[in-house]
Structure 1
Amino acid sequence: MKRAGLIALLALAACEPAIPTAEDFIPEYKGVETTLLDGDLVQFNVAMTKARASKNVAAYAECAAAQYTLIRGYGFARHVRTNVAIEAGIWRADAVYTISPSLPKGLKTIDAEVVTQNCREKGIPTV
């Protein structure tokens, strides 16, 4: 009787989910692919795991866009669109930005230098 009870208890314990650790919440950034679409129009494909929400992977794409803008010698970018998807635990974003030397027209503009600095402070990698 005691042995059967112990076996049942061990079987039940094996079904319990593992207690999360800090590492379970630290995002893993899997890289950026950059494609120049046309002159000042640039596409950024990023991938990561352990994102908490789609805004996390969108922020990764924005960080990549900001650094790329600086690398190209420009100071500003304008967000065109971002598509986010998750498959098999991998979050992916496909984002498009225009880059320019001066502040472009539009509501979703970024100052590349300021955004890049913010990304570094938050630990989000750039290009």
Structure 2
Amino acid sequence: MKRLTAILPFLLGACEPQVPSAEDFIPEYKGVKTALLDGDLVQFKVAMTKAQSTEDVAAYAECAAAQYTLIRGYGFARHVRTNVDVEGGVWRADAVYTISPSLPRGLKTIDAEVTAQNCAEKGIPAV
């Protein structure tokens, strides 16, 4: 009986919920895959862990789109769609943007240079 009472506190401690640490909230960016679909239409597939919401993974895709737009020598992009999924703690986004040298028509446009700068300031990597 003495052995049981000696190890009982350790067994009970293992059942207590773990308190999250700051590291549990720092996103881990797992990479970007780009595919040129047609002329100015580009698909971005991104993956990350420790996202707090769909907005986090969508922002990662937007940062990839902004950087890709600049790499291609263009200044603007227009968001077409983003699908987000989470499985096993890995968040994935499949996003499509059009890229163009001038401001495209539409409501969801981004200035690639400004967006890329904002991403860098927030620590969100790009392509």
Same fold (TM over 0.5): yes
Paired position in structure 2 for 1:25: 25
2:97 aligned partner, one-letter code: Y
Measured after TM superposition, the shift of residue 22 of structure 1 is 1.6
1:26 aligned partner, one-letter code: I
Measured after TM superposition, the shift of residue 19 of structure 1 is 2.4
Residue aligned with 2:64, SS: helix
What's the CA shift string for 1:23-46, capped at 9, x where partnerless? 111100000000000000000000
Paired position in structure 1 for 2:83: 83
Residue aligned with 1:118, SS: helix
Confirm whether residue 63 of structure 1 aligns to residue 59 of structure 2: no
Q: For 2:59 and 2:75, locate their aligned partners in 1 and report how far apart those are by CA, in whole Å.
A: 18
Q: For 2:55 and 2:45, locate their aligned partners in 1 and report how far apart those are by CA, in whole Å.
A: 15
Measured after TM superposition, the shift of residue 96 of structure 1 is 0.1
Paired position in structure 2 for 1:117: 117
Superposed CA RMSD in Å reads: 1.2
Paired position in structure 1 for 2:99: 99
Residue aligned with 2:46, SS: strand
Residue aligned with 1:9, SS: helix
Confirm whether residue 36 of structure 1 aligns to residue 40 of structure 2: no
**Is there any run of 5+ residues in structure 1 with no aligned partner, and where?**
none
2:80 aligned partner, one-letter code: V
Q: For 2:17 and 2:50, locate their aligned partners in 1 and report how far apart those are by CA, in whole Å.
A: 17
Measured after TM superposition, the shift of residue 50 of structure 1 is 0.3
Percent of aligned pairs with the same residue? Answer: 78
2:23 aligned partner, one-letter code: E
Q: For 1:58 and 1:6, locate their aligned partners in 2 and report how far apart those are by CA, in whole Å.
A: 50
2:109 aligned partner, one-letter code: T
Measured after TM superposition, the shift of residue 9 of structure 1 is 2.6
Residue aligned with 1:74, SS: coil
Q: For 1:31 and 1:4, locate their aligned partners in 2 and report how far apart those are by CA, in whole Å.
A: 49
